[in-house]
C-alpha cells in the first residue's frame, strides 16, 4: 500500500493476451511487465507478433482474451470480465496516456513540424495556442530540430521526420512510449540520429517498450529484452543474457545466428 | 427581334434565379447528406455500410429523369404529395447525394491508414480525427470531382422544367413560344449556363492550388 510498493508495481502489465487474425494465431498467451523507467525491447523474427503486441497496448488492435493494464487501468475494455469495449471517448483518453512512434513516421502532411506536435496538445490536452507552441518548440529543440518548426513534413529528411514523430509522442507526456521499428524505414546513415534521441529519452527515465532490429542498440539501451517467437514470449532477460551466443534457447540461437549472418 | 428578347430579359432573369436556387439547394443538401452517408460507408458498422452501398448503387443506376418522375408521379401513390418544386429538388438531391458519397469514399480512402492510427495514438476522438487529420487531407481529392458534380447539378437542374417549373430552361422555351426566335434564345441560354459553370471551374482551380501542400 505504500508508495514504494506502488513504484515497483508494473506500469504496463500484459497478462495472457491472445489474438487471432482469422485462423492465424498471432499472440499466444503473452505476458509481459514493464516497470516505471524501464526500457524493454522486443525482438524476434518477422511474424512473431511483436508489432501486434505493441499495437494492442494502445488498442490500435483489439485482442481476444487476456488483460492489458497501464497504471492499473484496463486499456481497451471497461472491465476485463465482461470484455465490454470502452467508449470512443474513453479509448481516446486512454490512448493519450501512451505515446506511439511508427515505422513509417505517419506525420500529418498538412501540418508543420510544430503543428504536428501541437495538435494533440491543443485538442486533447486543451492547451492554449501559445502554450502548445512553446511546448512544441521545447521538444523540437530536444530532438535537434528547433530550426524546422515551420517546415512541412515533405520538406524534412526521413530522420528528421522520425524525430518530429518522437517529439509529437513525448510532448503529450505519456506514461509509456511505444516504438514500433522506428528506424526500419530509414537510410542507414539516418538511423544514428534517431537512436540518439531515444537514448537521451531513456536517460531521462522515460518508460519505453520498443520493437527493433537494431541489436546493438537493444543491447546498449535496454533494461530487458523479450524474445518472441510464434506469437509467444520465448525468452526474457537482461540484454547480456538474451544476446549471448551460447544461449540454450534453440529458437533464440537460430534467430541470433541468422541475424548475425545477415547484419555483420 | 432584339427588342423582343430584351423585353423577355426580366422573365429570363427570374428563370435564371430559380435555376440558381434549385442548384444551390441541391448542392448544399447533397453535400451534407453525402458526407454523412459517405462517412457511414467508410467507417460505419456493417449494416450501415450495406444500406449506404445499396442506396448509392441503386440511385446511380437509375436515369435522373426516371428518378424525378418517380418522385413526382410515383410517390403520391404511397400518400406523399410533394409540390413539383420540392419533388424536383428531392430527386436531384438523391441523385447528387449518391455521387457525393462516392467522391467522399474515394477521397477518404486515398488517405493512408497510418494517418488515422497516428491520430488515434495521440488520443484524438473519431470526430477530431476526421476534422483535423482526415478531412483536411481528403479535401484536395474531394474537390475536383465535387466541383464537376456541382456544374453537373447546374446543368441537370434544367430537367426540372419537365415538371413545369419555370427555371431558366422553361423560361427560354416559353419566350420562344411567344417569339419563335429559337436560335438566339437557345444560344443565350447556353451562354448563361456556360458562364456559371466556367466561373465555378475557375474558382475550383484556384482552390485546388491553395490546397496543393500534400506530397503525392
At B60-79, the pLDDT tens digits run: 999 999 999 999 998 888 88
In the three-class reduction of DSSP (H, G, I as helix; E, B as strand; rest coil), residue A112 is classed as coil
Average pLDDT over residues A104-133: 97
Most confident of A187-191, A239-243, B129-133: B129-133
- Picking from A98, A106, A110, the nearest residue to B114 by CB comes out as A106
- Picking from A100, A108, A154, the nearest residue to B133 by CB comes out as A108
Kindly report the average pLDDT of chain A as a whole number.
91
Residues of A in contact with B114 (CB under 8 A): 102, 104, 106
Average pLDDT over residues A163-182: 96
Among chain B residues, CA nearest to A93: B123
The share of chain B scoring above pLDDT 70, in percent, equals: 97
Among chain B residues, CA nearest to A101: B118
Residues in chain B: 216
- Picking from B117, B136, B213, the nearest residue to A106 by CB comes out as B117
Distance from CA of A119 to the nearest CA of B (A): 8
Average pLDDT over residues A136-162: 96
Ordered DSSP codes for A182-194? TTTTS-HHHHHHH
User: Residue A217 corresponds to which cell in the numbers above?
Assistant: 542498440
Domain that holds residue B203: 2-210
User: Is B215 domain-assigned?
Assistant: no
Residues of B in contact with A88 (CB under 8 A): 125-126
User: Residue A120 corresponds to which cell in the numbers above?
Assistant: 494533440
Instruction: Tally the domains of chain B.
Output: 1
- Picking from B114, B132, B215, the nearest residue to A102 by CB comes out as B114
Residues of B in contact with A93 (CB under 8 A): 123
- Chain A residues contacting B, CB < 8 Å? 58, 60, 88-89, 92-93, 95-100, 102, 104, 106-110, 119-120, 123-124, 152-154, 168-169, 172
Q: Which of A170, A109, A173 is CA-nearest to residue A142?
A: A170
Ordered DSSP codes for A80-91? TTTTPBPPHHHH
CB contact under 8 A, B136 and A172: no
Q: Which of A14, A103, A80, A84 is CA-nearest to residue A53?
A: A14
Q: Are B125 and B119 in contact (CB under 8 A)?
A: no
- Picking from B122, B137, B214, the nearest residue to A119 by CB comes out as B122
Residues of A in contact with B213 (CB under 8 A): 109-110, 152, 154
Q: Measured between alpha carbons, how far is B67 from A256 in angstroms, rounded to an integer? A: 67
ipTM score of the complex?
A: 0.90
Per-residue pLDDT tens digits for A90-105:
999 999 999 999 999 9
Reply yes or no on whether the pLDDT at A47 is more than 90.
no
Which contacts qualify for A233-241: CB closer than 8 Å, 24 or more apart? Answer: A233/A30, A233/A31, A233/A32, A234/A44, A236/A32, A239/A41
Distance from CA of B113 to the nearest CA of A (A): 9
Q: Measured between alpha carbons, how far is A183 from A212 in angstroms, rounded to an integer? A: 8
CB contact under 8 A, B132 and A123: yes
User: Is B119 domain-assigned?
Assistant: yes
If you count residue pairs, one on A and one on B, with CB atoms under 8 Å apart, how many are there? 76
- Picking from B120, B126, B132, the nearest residue to A60 by CB comes out as B120
User: Is B107 domain-assigned?
Assistant: yes
Q: Residue A102: which residues within 8 A CB-CB, separation 6 or more?
A: A165, A180, A182, B114, B117, B118, B121
Q: What is the pLDDT of residue A258?
A: 83
Task: Check which CATH number belongs to the domain holding B91 and give it.
Answer: 1.10.3720.10
| Ranges under pLDDT 70 in chain B | 1, 212-216
Enumerate the CATH 3.40.50.300 domain ranges in chain A, comma separated. Answer: 3-97+175-263
Reply yes or no on whether the pLDDT at A38 is more than 60.
yes
Residues of B in contact with A99 (CB under 8 A): 121-122
Model-level pTM?
0.86
Q: What is the pLDDT of residue A259?
A: 80
In the three-class reduction of DSSP (H, G, I as helix; E, B as strand; rest coil), residue A86 is classed as coil
DSSP B132: I
User: Is B140 domain-assigned?
Assistant: yes
Among chain A residues, CA nearest to B124: A92
Question: What is the domain class of A3-97+175-263 according to CATH?
Answer: alpha beta
Amino acid at each position: 500500500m505504500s508508495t514504494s510498493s506502488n513504484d515497483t508495481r508494473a506500469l504496463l502489465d500484459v497478462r495472457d493476451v491472445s489474438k487471432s487474425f482469422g485462423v492465424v494465431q498471432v499472440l499466444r498467451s503473452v505476458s509481459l511487465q514493464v516497470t516505471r523507467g524501464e526500457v524493454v525491447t522486443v525482438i524476434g523474427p518477422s511474424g512473431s507478433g511483436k508489432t501486434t503486441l505493441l499495437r494492442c497496448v494502445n488498442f490500435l488492435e483489439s485482442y481476444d482474451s487476456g488483460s492489458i493494464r497501464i497504471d492499473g487501468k484496463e486499456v481497451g475494455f471497461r472491465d476485463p470480465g465482461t470484455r465490454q469495449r470502452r467508449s470512443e471517448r474513453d479509448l481516446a483518453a486512454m490512448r493519450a496516456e501512451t505515446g506511439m512512434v511508427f515505422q513509417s513516421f505517419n506525420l500529418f502532411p498538412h501540418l508543420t513540424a510544430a503543428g504536428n506536435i501541437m495538435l494533440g496538445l491543443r485538442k486533447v490536452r486543451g492547451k492554449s495556442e501559445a502554450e502548445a507552441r512553446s511546448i512544441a518548440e521545447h521538444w523540437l529543440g530536444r530532438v535537434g530540430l528547433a530550426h524546422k518548426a515551420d517546415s512541412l513534413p515533405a520538406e524534412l529528411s526521413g530522420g528528421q521526420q522520425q524525430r518530429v514523430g518522437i517529439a509529437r509522442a513525448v510532448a503529450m507526456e505519456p506514461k509509456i512510449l511505444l516504438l514500433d521499428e522506428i528506424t526500419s524505414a530509414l537510410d542507414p546513415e539516418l538511423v544514428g540520429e534517431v537512436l540518439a534521441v531515444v537514448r537521451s529519452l531513456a536517460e531521462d527515465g522515460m518508460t519505453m517498450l520498443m520493437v527493433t532490429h537494431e541489436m546493438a542498440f537493444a543491447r546498449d539501451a535496454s533494461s530487458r529484452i523479450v524474445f518472441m517467437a510464434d506469437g509467444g514470449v520465448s525468452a526474457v532477460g537482461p540484454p547480456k543474457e538474451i544476446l549471448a551466443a551460447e544461449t540454450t534457447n534453440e529458437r533464440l540461437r537460430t534467430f541470433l545466428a541468422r541475424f548475425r549472418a545477415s547484419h555483420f | 427581334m432584339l427588342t423582343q428578347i430584351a423585353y423577355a430579359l426580366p422573365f429570363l432573369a427570374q428563370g435564371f434565379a430559380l435555376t440558381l436556387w434549385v442548384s444551390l439547394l441541391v448542392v448544399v443538401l447533397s453535400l451534407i447528406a453525402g458526407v454523412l452517408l459517405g462517412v457511414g460507408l467508410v467507417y460505419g458498422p456493417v449494416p450501415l455500410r450495406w444500406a449506404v452501398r445499396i442506396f448509392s448503387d441503386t440511385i446511380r443506376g437509375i436515369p435522373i429523369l426516371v428518378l424525378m418522375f418517380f418522385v413526382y408521379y410515383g410517390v403520391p401513390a404511397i400518400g406523399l404529395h410533394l409540390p413539383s418544386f420540392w419533388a424536383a429538388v428531392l430527386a436531384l438531391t438523391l441523385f447528387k447525394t449518391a455521387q457525393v458519397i462516392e467522391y467522399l469514399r474515394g477521397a477518404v480512402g486515398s488517405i493512408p491508414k497510418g494517418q488515422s492510427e497516428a491520430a488515434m495514438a495521440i488520443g484524438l476522438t473519431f470526430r477530431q480525427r476526421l476534422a483535423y487529420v482526415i478531412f483536411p487531407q481528403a479535401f484536395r481529392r474531394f474537390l475536383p470531382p465535387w466541383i464537376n458534380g456541382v456544374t453537373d447539378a447546374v446543368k441537370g437542374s434544367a430537367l426540372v422544367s419537365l415538371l413545369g417549373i419555370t427555371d431558366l430552361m422553361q423560361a427560354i422555351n416559353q419566350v420562344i413560344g411567344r417569339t419563335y426566335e429559337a436560335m438566339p434564345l437557345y444560344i443565350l441560354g447556353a451562354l448563361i449556363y456556360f458562364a456559371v459553370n466556367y466561373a465555378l471551374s475557375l474558382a475550383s482551380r484556384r482552390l485546388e492550388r491553395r490546397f496543393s501542400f500534400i506530397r503525392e
